Amino acid sequence: MEENNFNKNVSLLRKALGESATGQTYIETVPRVGYRFVAAVSEIGSRLVAPAEESGSAASTPRQKIQFCVTGDGVRLAYSSAGSGYPLVKAANWLNYLDYEWDSPIWKHWLRELTKNNRLIRYDERGNGLSQWDVKEMSLDLWVQDLETVVEAAGLDRFVLLGMSQGGAVAITYAIRHPERVSHLVLVGAFSRGLTARGTEQQMAGRRALQTLVRLDWGRNNPDFKSMFTKFYIPQNSTPEQHQWFNDLQRISASPENAARIMTLIDEISIRHLLPLVSVPTIVFHGDRDRVLPAEEGRILAAEIPGARFVPLNTGNHILLAEEPAWRVFLEELGAFLGWQNNQAGPAV
Amino acid sequence: MPPTAGLYQFGPFQLDPREHRLLREGVEVSLQLKAFEILCLLVENAGRLIKKEDLLERI
């Protein structure tokens, strides 16, 4: 092989391995002599398999079953069910994609842990993911109706309800309307006041500018713009790979127009006055340095929902990552709240 | 297992020299044939310095 051609191939190889993106060196160049592969290499079995199929992990990562249902106003929603045990329903949050999330380093650990003791039901809300994108109406009320539709379609009587981010407002509203259905309410990085209700004029101006950029740029593969979002959501100890997945998740989950519409609705959420009406056992988790939703919003929830427990998490990430200590704290506290040691029997209320 | 029959794991990657496949966390990574051959030679000789002239000769 020609030397130039060879150098070009080595450079392609380094790129494919993500050396500059991840900072991990696999191939060492010894100047004027040659090359050495410096990463630890181990020999494995006789067939390449995806990690989910490897022995040991198959049992802990069940398959998800994706189905569709239709809301009262005729919108087709995708929902999924995985695992077995007492049902745990996760309200939709800022941009979901049932299929894509399943193996993503952003959500994989959530899905694995939440299916260990429970049957986990998730869905993509109207306008994003595998659900219908072309929708006339979107509102907090319709998001709650989306959740109601999924609960009916999945045939659930009583369950744990998990709300993250704006999914928290949906979950709180649902729990007030259907207290007999919700045995436990779990809120993570949630809020009752959107930016319109809590923000300064300067913050609002910034937000309007951001919405314009979303409308213009969402689909245009502008890496700076997308990584800016990602750095808000998972700023702490996240890997380039996690950034890439989060960037991609946003790009494929919603059209620019829908993303901007959802963003506007999130800002307009204002349900603080409803908090005293929550009557189900509630636990509130919030990162103490959350850059998307300030920790004060979590404290308001816990203070104004009667009897709620508050668990501050030592993190700057809006979505907890598998490697951080706060993730372990979250699981321990959640397990204690849901009585995971008595799994299958359903939680004692 | 003789080296040529082996499958290799390094970091998040799995390499199958015979099938010409490279996976990163289970996801196929596309790589041109020559770059793939260089990778196989380096991995099969991991930790050893390989002279550039030897690589040029063998690829």
Average pLDDT, integer, range A118-141: 95
pLDDT at A119: 94
Nearest-Cα residue of chain A relative to residue B10: A41
A46 touches chain B (CB under 8 A): yes
CB pairs under 8 A between A and B: 111
Terminal-to-terminal C-alpha distance of chain A: 71
Which chain A residues in 91-130 lie under 8 Å from chain B, judged by CB atoms? 103, 105
Do A126 and A77 contact (CB within 8 A), yes or no?
A: yes
Residues of B in contact with A27 (CB under 8 A): 42
User: DSSP state, A194?
Assistant: -
Report the percentage of chain A scoring pLDDT > 90: 60
CA A141 from centroid of its chain's CA atoms: 21
Mutate to test the interface with B, among A48, A53, A103, A104 (most CBs of B within 10 A): A48
Closest by alpha carbon to A239, among A323, A295, A143, A176? A323
Judged by CB atoms closer than 8 Å, whether chains meet at B1 and A43 is answered as yes
pLDDT at A219: 54
Q: Nearest CB to B38: which of A10, A46, A51?
A: A10
Judged by CB atoms closer than 8 Å, whether chains meet at B9 and A44 is answered as yes
Residue A151: is it exposed, middle or buried by C-beta count within 10 angstroms (0-12/13-18/19+)? Answer: buried
pLDDT at A185: 98
Judged by CB atoms closer than 8 Å, whether chains meet at B26 and A1 is answered as no
- pLDDT tens digits along A192-239: 999 999 999 998 998 888 888 888 766 566 667 767 777 778 888 788
Q: At what angle do helices A140-153 and A256-268 cross, to 10 degrees?
A: 100
Judged by CB atoms closer than 8 Å, whether chains meet at A34 and B19 is answered as no
pLDDT at A229: 74
The pTM of this model reads: 0.70
pLDDT surpasses 80 at A151: yes
Closest Cα of chain A to B4: distance in Å?
11
Average pLDDT, integer, range A286-303: 95
Among A190-194, A245-249, B7-11, the range scoring the smallest mean pLDDT is: A245-249
Residues of A in contact with B50 (CB under 8 A): 34-36
Between A345 and A202, where is the model more confident? A202
